[in-house]
Amino acid sequence: MSALPTSIKEKTHHSISKESKGKRPENTLDVDVDGEPVNGIERDTTYHDKQGKSKLQITSLIGLLMIIVITFSTLLGSFNGSDSPQCRSIYMYPAYARIDGFDSRFTSLAQKYHLYLYREQGKDRNPMENEEIQLDGIPVLFIPGNAGSYKQVRSIAAASSNIFFEDKESIENMYTKNLDFFAADFNEDFTAFHGRTMIDQAEYLNDAIRYILSLYEQSKSYIDPLPTSVIVIGHSMGGVVARLLPTLQNHVDYSIRALITLSSPHALAPVTFDGDILKIYQRTNDYWRNQMNDKSSFLAQNVSLVSITGGILDMMLPADYTAVEDILPIENGFTTYSTTIPEVWTPIDHLAVVWCDQLRSKVARLLLEIVDGTTAEKVRPLRQRMFVSRKMLLSGLEDEMMQDLELIDPKKYSEVYESQDFREAYDLKGSQRLSISRSNKNQFPRYSKFILPSDGQNTTFSFLTSLQEPQVFFCKLNQQLEEATHSKSSMNCVSAFHDMATVPASSSDLEFPAQSSLDDVTHPFKMLSIDKRILSQYDFIVVENKKAAIQNDQDFIYAGLTSDKISTDVSERPVQLVFSGMQLTLNSSFLYHTFRFPKLWDSLLSYRVSCSSKAYTSDRLIFEPLIRQWIEDPFETKWHVNINNSDIDINMHNVAPFIPLEELHDKSLMLTVIVPPNYGLELCVRINWTLTLKMLFIRYRLTFLSLPISLACIIVAYQFFNYRQTREFITFNSALASVLKRGLVLALAIILLSPATNSKPLQRILFMLDPIRLNQPFLLEEEHIHTNFYFLGIRSWFMSPLGLFFMVMSVAILYLIASIFDFIESLVIAISVRFAASAIRNEVRLKDRPSINKPRRTITSFLLIGIVFFYVPYQIASAVSLLIQIGTCFRVAIKSTRSGFKNYDNLRNYNFSVFLILSFVVAINAPIIVVFLHNVAIRWETPFRSHHNVLAIAPIIFLVSTNSAFNMPLFKSGKFYENGISAILFGYTGVFCLIYGARNLYWIHHLFNITCAWLLLTIFSNNAQTDNVDKAKITQA
């Protein structure tokens, strides 16, 4: 009996050919390679019942609706109020001078990268005079981010030139100096995708810093001390590259002392397509932590790092990733948000963060305030730099700001006043309030005095005004002077002007806090809040009534003392806000009141607060109520102005997935409500589901890739398991339907997986089982910093169903892909049928057994491997393999219609499963391919310096080549180790993707490669067994 082809041994219930779509004849038996029945098992065409298919269709429909909702929420949903963009446009007159002298003599990367010097026309000196470069300022190096341009330096550079040359008197730093801005041109490299590219940039920048410092040594016109360091500004991934500089061997010692990063992902790699990126992050963060822990190190004593992020509008990079609190102490740096920074008060998207007028002016002024042109270091000492940074970049109302208040040190900042200086002062005691406006300013004397209680009770003083130069004095009677002169007319007073926080104005004609931002027509308010810790040092407070400054209806002064509790803890949990809102009531007994929500800390949830007002008087309000939304760590403040009878959206960057968490810090959401006198307010807090869904994609972009792969691998594992049981390799959708029969159990398991992976005992086990171990959840356990790297990184029970939400969408994605592929396949078959007659006449008869080692395929495979070894990354080869696999799938479909066999279904279903997994693997590899093609496009002829491990691609190449010869694993012996290992490998890959996948996407390629090696081994083993059987038959004959 002649043997059928080994790769097409079984019939299935779902044939591609027209004949197989009809009713199957009774008593038709499966046959093995010799045409004999297999255990006499009759086909059961109802194995996959209609119930499973209907569950699959319903689940897919629900998942598709979820995908549509998230897509529309992400793309079409708008931000309102304080979350809406309010950046002003800018103008400058840029000039860029390319420094050609920085060539291959100084760096090996001179042909790929370039260095530019920026000059603002009409302000800065010409870059060249008498064929010599002209440098007269302090060097600043700008590092662009992923696919960024060196021209992005122009915004901040132009602002610094304008301030220095046109408004120098406004700079409080007497040692300030103009700045020389240098910018690196990386030809818009994709830094975020490729670790080797990041290292290349860092090595080039270290060489560039050495060269920049040498230029000042060569400059004959430079009269100040020669610089030994440069200030570094990094945008996006440029900020991470800046932190990488000190870790490399070619780093110039002591050359970096001040770093400012804009929307840079310090806490976590934004994508995980390349393992080198994760290794660089681990090495860099470990280096910085070790240096900061060593208080005698150069970094700990001299280097400052300020991370600025645009907040909610940054849809390219989650703002949570910009945190640096787990990397360095507060004495060396912090993270702040553009909504926090005084007189910026607007969220900013990822690209606009370098050109937003309000922010670039703040950054430029910060640079001019921290430099010191009289020293070789060119920056002020670390403590002074951090003082200036906190003053300019924090709201001024944080507890961390108390150390910077002049009021805390009356011995240093006080001045002696006589009682006659505050003569005829209006005395206020107890809970009396001072409210001065245009209508009643003449009813008050020049000074009003608040007498502080002497019994040490818990008292708080608050002050709010629209005036730009208010005066409030904190005074203490001078007892020593009284005893010496027998006079009671002297006192020591400290002016609180420099301690006042600048807050956005709130009036009926304002809608956004940024409408009173830097250089706007409307001036912001000044606010002061002082508690017992400082008040205990003083006897009374004097507020000056500047009648001449109160000129219109919007001008006012409002102040008061209170011993009442000014904060309320609200214990409601998110689950209580699902169906009904939380009602809060506030009366105007004091200027402000803080609602603390200790149970509302999850960044995944957004809220909506409906405000309804109740005025207790018909008089005009001196200002409209406003809300400060804030959290303690990181320093995020968001202002909501003119909230009278309006709805405001609350979104925060607090406890976020995969981000290190300081467990001892208070993570409560805080709402400080500031109200005018004679005013009441009712708040209704509820969950904002639309905004919550909109913010899911930015935080879980990688999960939208890892979970479908996880589910696909588990389904393929089930296909192989069923193949061993029935000799039938069922279709992917049939397997998916079979798995969904146990949908309730699976749904419960997925829901419980989030709280399980957040438990520390299980995390220790998962870390031990992690084959990579680059993500260490307990690395900073001594500092009480903990990270959840597993599954979705969720820390709250309430968000546990999110895993089910994503898994249902994954079902829809896989079902949609399979259905689309079926549709395309049917089109290919329909087209091929038209040419079927001529094709069959000319078709070569199939051999009894397809050839595995056909010379043409073997040569092509080794040629592709050779190209990988010498030039292209192996990711390119995976893309080529995918194209070959697609061709194989269509060839199998066409062959089934042309030949007389009905046995191609197993081969078809197997090849589709390989195609599906391989397509996801190529999607993971796509960013590396983009980086390689970009290098080719800029004619960078040096071979790609990574990803040439041929063992990482050879099994995939050879399996795809073998598949193209219509081979598949047969597992004829029925032994578990043959088929069972295949199912186990796919199952393990699925579990890995589920638990570790989002933070280790690159490793999925290697797991699939190992699985391909095993499948290839089984095919060769089956072929060898068949050879032995054939030889034995010939011998017997």
Helix (H) or strand (E) holding 567: strand 567-569
d(CA 298, CA 304): 11
Hey, what's the torsion of the CAs at 885, 887, 893, 895, to 10 degrees? -110
d(CA 339, CA 83): 9
Q: Any residues with CB less than 8 A from the CB of 783 and at least 6 apart, and which?
A: 326, 662
Token pair, residue 38, equals 């297999």
Distance in angstroms between the alpha carbons of the first and the last residue of the chain: 12
Q: Coil, strand or helix: which one is 84?
A: coil
CB burial readout 993-1012, b (16+ within 10 A) else e: bbbbbbbbbbbbbbbbbebb
CA atoms in the 13 A half-sphere facing the CB of 452: 26
Beta bridge partners of 613: 681
d(CA 766, CA 743): 25
Q: Coil, strand or helix: which one is 997?
A: helix
Give the closest residue to 781 by CA, choosing from 794, 769, 764. Answer: 764
DSSP state of 481: H
Q: Any residues with CB less than 8 A from the CB of 671 and at least 6 apart, and which?
A: 594, 595, 597, 609, 627, 628, 629, 650, 683
Give the closest residue to 858 by CA, choosing from 967, 958, 959. Answer: 958
Do the bridges between strand 567-569 and strand 592-597 make them parallel or antiparallel, or are there none, so unpaired? parallel
How many CB atoms within 10 Å of residue 400?
13
d(CA 532, CA 460): 6
Do the bridges between strand 636-640 and strand 447-451 make them parallel or antiparallel, or are there none, so unpaired? unpaired
Q: Does residue 634 have a cis bond before it (omega within 30 degrees)?
A: yes
Active site residue 236: yes
- Active-site option among 20, 60, 82, 236: 236
Instruction: Output the CA–CA distances (angstroms, integers) from residue 766 to 425, 593, 775, 799, in the order listed.
Output: 69, 45, 11, 21
Helix (H) or strand (E) holding 562: strand 556-562
Q: Any residues with CB less than 8 A from the CB of 195 and at least 6 apart, and which?
A: 274, 275, 276, 277, 278, 279, 280, 946
DSSP state of 226: P
Instruction: Output the CA–CA distances (angstroms, integers) from residue 555 to 262, 526, 545, 677, 998, in the order listed.
Output: 36, 12, 12, 15, 54
Task: Name the residues annotated as catalytic.
Answer: 236
